[in-house]
Structure 1
Amino acid sequence: MAKKLYTKIIGTGSCIPEQVIKNDHFSEYNFYDPSSKQPFDKTNEEIIKKFHEITNIEERRWVKEEQVNSDIAAEAIKNACQDAGIELDELDFIIIGHNFGDVEAGRTHTDVLPSLANKVKGILKIKNPACICHDVIAGCPGWTQAMIVADAYIRSETHQRGVVVGSDVLSRISDPHDRDSMIYADGAGATVVQGVWSDEPTGVLAHSSRSDSIPYANLLIMGESMNPDYESDDLFIKMKGHKLYVYALNFVPGVVKASLDKAGITLGDVKKVLIHQANEKMDEAILKGVFKLYDEKNIPEGIMPMSINKLGNSSTATVPTLLDLILKGKMENQEIKEGDYIILCSVGAGMNINSIVYKW
């Protein structure tokens, strides 16, 4: 068999903020009903209990006051390059999937100029002008979309090695009067990718994507506070949770199957499904939907690792962070072995879905 060029992950890294925010942090918040714009008639204890039942989030991580998104993205890249055994100046490209750029403490104003990737290159003091930088803004699937872009760079032989990052600070663009604010977290994950010639399939084998802007573009938007008396024109992330849930269940399983079909393997070959950590019940329902497409009722235990209970939803960062934790032996009873087929999947704003089939 003639050798082909494949995109392989040669190192992973992450930056999980130190500040732990448990659910009881929200006990004194004033949450408002999105329909009536009036305070809920339920206690915060009831709201938090129901939230935990649905999402299984117990705690999440927030950045320190002096940190911004580019800081944690840079840290994740340093960790990934160290893991790969390469110097920062050996990178041909830096691609960062994110949504809000750098947001300073006490503000909701987003800053995406210059691009986050360019800011990070400056923080890391990478002088090589041949190392190109750009961002990918695609909602929560930003990292998976950036991986697909990186795969195209490598397969076209435009570039040979680079780093792909998912990094977001959602704590600063969440409405303190919106109960959905309990979902959001901060974090960064990075993967160093490199082109490898091989006569056996390896690395990124296939991927499938879809975008449904009509009629789903407004399921995640920036909007005013739930509190009608909020004295600011700040905009916060707003989510139509139930409609997003239904959308994901209807369409994500099909995209996963399409990627497996392109790779020429079946669901039975897959050892791990790493899906965006948005909501544990939603992810479980999506996985059931995938198995249903193959008329499979028995889902192998441990096939879908979850980190959301301790890390919350850090948007673009959830999948690369989860991958790094597994590979570093920090996820109990989870491992990825050489030769394993894994799925890397995300769904989010737009609405966008990506599924990547990867052979370790």
Structure 2
Amino acid sequence: MSELRCAGIISIGSAVPEKVLSNADLEKIVDTTDEWIRTRTGILERRIADDDKATSDYAAEAARAALDKAKLTPNDIDLIIVATVTGDMPFPATASIVQNALGADKVPAFDLGAGCSGWVYGLSVANAYVSSGIYDRVLVIGADLLSRVTNWTDRSTCVLFGDGAGAAVVAPVEDGLGMLGFELGSDGSGAEVLKIEAGGSRFPCTCEAVENYRNKIFMAGSEVFKFAVRIQGEAVERVIAKCGMTTADIDLMVPHQANVRIIDSAVNRLGLPPEKIFVNLHKYGNTSAASIPIALDEALQEGRIKKGDTVVVVGFGAGLTWAAGVMKWAY
């Protein structure tokens, strides 16, 4: 077997809708207040997709941005992975629709479903393909339009979610740079606490299901919160230990942008100073699989990441799932 190569992110791009839904706007829709939303979630506004756009549209836009930055064409890509829970339709895979939209001729493409952890799961798959030499360039996209599956009468959940996409190109990088390790996990005993019940083979989407919002997001908030505040810190501790590091070695942590209290709990557990955490959920809310790549793109634009920095990403989501990764930034 040939020696493994170092694989890392060589470019990243993102795309969000233009339409902004503020907390003040939500006050007109459900019984809530800006103060309640801000103090409990840290969210000030979120982006909502245009009626004529689908997940694949924003995924393709983010992918084009990443390709442009890497000075690559769609046909330079060997594989496309789309992490999403809000695909354009049950089948075909949204990744195939993105592949066609990009004009990536006959490039293999598949979807990956791991909830809000999905993009980091996809990153680990891309790392395996590239480091082993099976593929040279893999496009990893996280994209979700959660507004399409939000119950806008449920004030406990409708304030949380937004729409967007982020994409990264994973390719061989210099020795000593790129991805160093991952910590992935799943606990299916928690499948019932965060779900869209109807629309699959167990509960087809009937009129009764629609009338009772069973085709929309259900979340047992307290259970998800308890899981999230525990697992994010644990996952980071485990992955940095695998890499022979400590929290002192982290230059920047980019967590899943779900709730500022969840992020703060992980930060406190890890003992990281605020300047080592990147947060942008106040602008976008929870964009599911898109949240981490969108945040990474903004962190780069703001000069928060430089070549050689130790960057940690960590997410959690439906499943229940979790995923953390450590990388030495490659550019």
TM-score (norm 1): 0.84
1:277 paired with 2:253, answer no
Give the distance between the partners of 1:50 and 1:197, measured in 2 at CA: 47
The residue number in structure 2 matching 1:221 is 195
Letter in 1 for 2:48: W
Give the drift of 1:8: 1.3
The residue number in structure 2 matching 1:17 is 17
Structure 2 unaligned segments of length 5 or more: list them: 199-207
Q: Which moved more, 1:320-329 or 1:186-195?
A: 320-329
Letter in 1 for 2:32: N
- 1:230-260 per-residue CA deviation (whole Å, 9 max, x = no partner) reads 8466610111111111112222212111110
The residue number in structure 2 matching 1:295 is none
Q: Is the 8 A contact 2:119 2:289 kept in 1?
A: yes
Q: Is the 8 A contact 1:249 1:289 kept in 2?
A: no
User: 2:151 is matched with which residue: 175, 181, 186?
Assistant: 175
Q: Is the 8 A contact 1:99 1:137 kept in 2?
A: yes
1:313 paired with 2:290, answer no
User: 1:77 is matched with which residue: 63, 66, 70?
Assistant: 63
User: 1:184 is matched with which residue: 122, 140, 161?
Assistant: 161
Give the distance between the partners of 1:188 and 1:79, measured in 2 at CA: 11
Q: Secondary structure at the match of 1:182?
A: coil
- 1:162-217 per-residue CA deviation (whole Å, 9 max, x = no partner) reads 1100000000100011111111100000001102362xx21000111111112x12
Larger Rg: 1
Give the distance between the partners of 1:218 and 1:210, measured in 2 at CA: 17
CA-atom RMSD in angstroms: 2.0
Give the distance between the partners of 1:191 and 1:113, measured in 2 at CA: 24
Q: Is the 8 A contact 1:4 1:197 kept in 2?
A: no
Sequence identity percentage: 31
The residue number in structure 1 matching 2:317 is 348
Classify 1:231/1:273 alpha carbon distance in 2 versus 1 (closer, same or farther; 3 Å): same
Q: Which moved more, 1:268-277 or 1:251-260?
A: 251-260
Q: Which moved more, 1:233-242 or 1:73-82?
A: 233-242
Give the distance between the partners of 1:83 and 1:112, measured in 2 at CA: 32
Q: Secondary structure at the match of 2:274?
A: coil
- 1:291-348 per-residue CA deviation (whole Å, 9 max, x = no partner) reads 3xxxxxxx3231111110011110000000010111123xxxx511121101011001
Give the distance between the partners of 1:57 and 1:44, measured in 2 at CA: 13
Structure 1 unaligned segments of length 5 or more: list them: 31-42, 103-110, 292-298
Letter in 2 for 1:78: R
The residue number in structure 2 matching 1:152 is 128
- 1:53-94 per-residue CA deviation (whole Å, 9 max, x = no partner) reads 111111000111111100000000000000111111100000
Give the distance between the partners of 2:23 and 2:298, measured in 1 at CA: 23
Instruction: Spell out the pairing of 1:50-65 with structure 2 (5 A cutoff).
Output: 50-65=36-51
Give the distance between the partners of 1:229 and 1:116, measured in 2 at CA: 24
The residue number in structure 1 matching 2:305 is 336
Give the distance between the partners of 1:357 and 1:17, measured in 2 at CA: 29
The residue number in structure 2 matching 1:141 is 117
User: 1:126 is matched with which residue: 98, 104, 108?
Assistant: 104
Q: Secondary structure at the match of 2:327?
A: strand
Give the distance between the partners of 1:81 and 1:161, measured in 2 at CA: 11
Give the drift of 1:269: 0.8
Give the drift of 1:154: 1.1
Q: Is the 8 A contact 2:19 2:48 kept in 1?
A: yes
User: 2:32 is matched with which residue: 34, 41, 44?
Assistant: 44
Letter in 2 for 1:173: V
Q: Which has more helix, going by share of residues?
A: 2
Give the drift of 1:132: 1.1
TM-score (norm 2): 0.91
Q: Which moved more, 1:75-84 or 1:154-163?
A: 154-163
The residue number in structure 1 matching 2:29 is 29
1:6 paired with 2:10, answer no
Aligned length: 318
The residue number in structure 1 matching 2:242 is 262
The residue number in structure 1 matching 2:203 is none
Give the drift of 1:49: 2.3
Give the drift of 1:113: 1.0
User: 1:211 is matched with which residue: 186, 193, 197?
Assistant: 186
- 1:96-120 per-residue CA deviation (whole Å, 9 max, x = no partner) reads 1000202xxxxxxxx1311011000
